[in-house]
Amino acid sequence: MEFAQGIIISVIAGFYYVEHADKAYMCRARGKLRLDDLPPMAGDKVLFSPGPDDTGTVESVLPRRNFLLRPAVANIDAVIIVLAPEKPTPNLLMADKLLALIRSLGLSTLLCINKADLDIQGAQGLAEIYKDSTSSIICSALTGNGMEDLLDAIGGQTVVLAGQSGVGKSHISSQIALEQLELPVQVGTLSAKLSRGKHTTRQVSLLPLPGGGKVADTPGFSVFELEMDSRELQLYYPEFTKSAFCKFSPCTHIHEPECAIKISVEQGEISKTRYENYVKIYHELVEKEANRY
């Protein structure tokens, strides 16, 4: 039998919704299908056998370029970290942990500063903190300002929005996505149309974007653990490029004398906030390492 290739755009109640030729097929998996010892997830490219009435069977999962576990989504190009200048107060420690985590996975990052209509100076201040760390887009999902800039930055990529609760991730998704997902049939009491807000706390769905990309409508990174060697943390701080000029090598940029990074912080060349969070994260990782033994 000749199989078709598609992409899983949503997983609901054991059904895999596979997009192929601008149509969504509601599929079951062939046996206990797993890849990397994990079940199929949104974003997976799969081979499936189409059946009648827009149904089908997922036969195999093609190799993944990458994947995240929480939220469960595969083959991501970039993660967009969403902050707001207020309501809620920005959690920059969480943002810095996310930046390190995302870079450790080999993914691109983008900072989206939403709710700029509440405090434009505060939004610009956040962009200034991260100017040497990642590109930033200042926008307002409420007014629509900056949404085109965000779409231009995403282009044809598949992206995930991450950030603390209340920063407007779902509002941004609803502003930039072309439409809600039209799922082919009903599954028990689940609606054939996947409504944002009703199911987003339970699964990941990929929504189409005007530039050909997709945005993962997800529960977000509400809980995650930063798992890496404490000595590797500095590798994920692009502004630490001056480390080659530290007196001692390797240098943790914590307690060593004549550290080029600490000097740059004192001279205002590196964000003091970013550096202070680096120190906090470093000590958290060191403590974890000590507790393993």
- Domain membership flag for residue 223: no
The answer on 115 and 19 residing in a single domain is no
pLDDT on residue 285: 96
pLDDT single digits (tens) 262-280: 999 999 999 999 999 999 9
The fraction of the chain above a pLDDT of 90, given in percent, is: 70
Is there a single domain that holds both residue 85 and residue 210?
yes
> Of 166, 184, 217, which marks where a domain is finished?
217
**Is residue 210 in a domain?**
yes
* Within a domain: 209: yes
CATH of the domain at 103: 3.40.50.300
Quick check: is 222 in a domain? no
User: Which of 34, 63, 92 is the endpoint of a domain?
Assistant: 63
Q: Helix or strand or coil: residue 149?
A: helix
Within-domain flag for 225: no
- The one-character DSSP state at 62 is P
Give the domain range for residue 187: 68-217
Residue ranges for the chain with pLDDT beneath 50 = 186-201
Q: Note whether 158 and 183 are same-domain residues.
A: yes
- Tell me, yes or no, whether 38 and 54 share the same domain: yes
Q: Clarify whether residues 108 and 139 are in a common domain.
A: yes
Q: Which residues contact 145 (CB under 8 A, 6 or more apart)?
A: 116, 117, 139
Q: Report d(CA 230, CA 222) in Å as an integer.
A: 23
Q: Looking at the domain assignment, is residue 256 inside a domain?
A: yes
CATH number, position 56: 2.40.50.140
- Do 77 and 172 belong together in one domain? yes
205 shares a domain with 99: yes
- Residue 97 and residue 35 in one domain: no
**Phi and psi of 26, rounded to 5°?**
-85, 115
Amino acid found at 180: Q
In a domain, 159, yes or no: yes
76 and 134 share one domain? yes
For residue 224, tell me if it sits in a domain: no
CA atoms of 183 and 174, how far apart (whole Å): 17
Structurally, how many domains does the chain consist of? Answer: 3
Count the Cβ atoms, other than its own, within 10 Å of residue 186: 11
Q: Are residues 77 and 213 in the same domain?
A: yes
From 176, 194, 217, give the residue that closes a domain. Answer: 217
Residues 199 and 238 in one domain: no
Same domain, 94 and 210: yes
Q: Specify the amino acid at residue 62.
A: L
Helices (H), the chain: 92-104, 120-129, 147-154, 169-176, 260-266, 272-291
Report the C-alpha gap between 179 and 73 in whole angstroms: 20
pTM, to two decimals: 0.86
